[in-house]
């Protein structure tokens, strides 16, 4: 099953400010999330196997938190954090 990826406009603008290398890494992650979001992420907080769950992944020094909803077949990007950006 292929999930629909939702990236809110505010997060899209934030991603556009990142380096091209980081943008490419995130684009690859987003493609992977559409096919199998659980395989490419880990638990974010408490591990939950329910139909709606929060997960996260790290790529190119950036942490991405997503909400996976098996009921609507959506993966929504909730936040993109760059902990090394001083």
Q: pLDDT tens string for the chain (86 positions)? A: 899 999 999 999 999 999 999 999 999 999 999 999 999 999 998 777 889 999 999 999 999 999 999 999 999 999 999 987 75
Q: Which two tokens stand for residue 36?
A: 């199998």
Asked whether the beta carbons of 68 and 52 are under 8 A apart, the reply is: yes
Query: Does residue 22 sit in helix, strand or coil?
Result: helix
Name all domains of the chain by residue range, CATH numbers in brackets: 4-81 (3.30.2310.20)
Q: How far apart are CA 75 and CA 67, in angstroms?
A: 6
The structure's pTM equals 0.92
């Amino acid at each position: 099953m292929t999930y629909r990826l939702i990236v809110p406009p505010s997060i899209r603008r934030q991603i556009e400010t990142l380096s091209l290398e980081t943008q490419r890494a995130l684009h690859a992650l987003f493609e992977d999330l559409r096919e199998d979001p659980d395989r490419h992420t880990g638990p974010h907080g408490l591990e939950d196997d329910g139909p709606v769950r929060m997960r996260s992944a790290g790529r190119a020094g950036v942490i991405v938190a997503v909400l996976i909803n098996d009921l609507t077949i959506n993966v929504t990007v909730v936040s993109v954090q760059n902990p090394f950006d001083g």
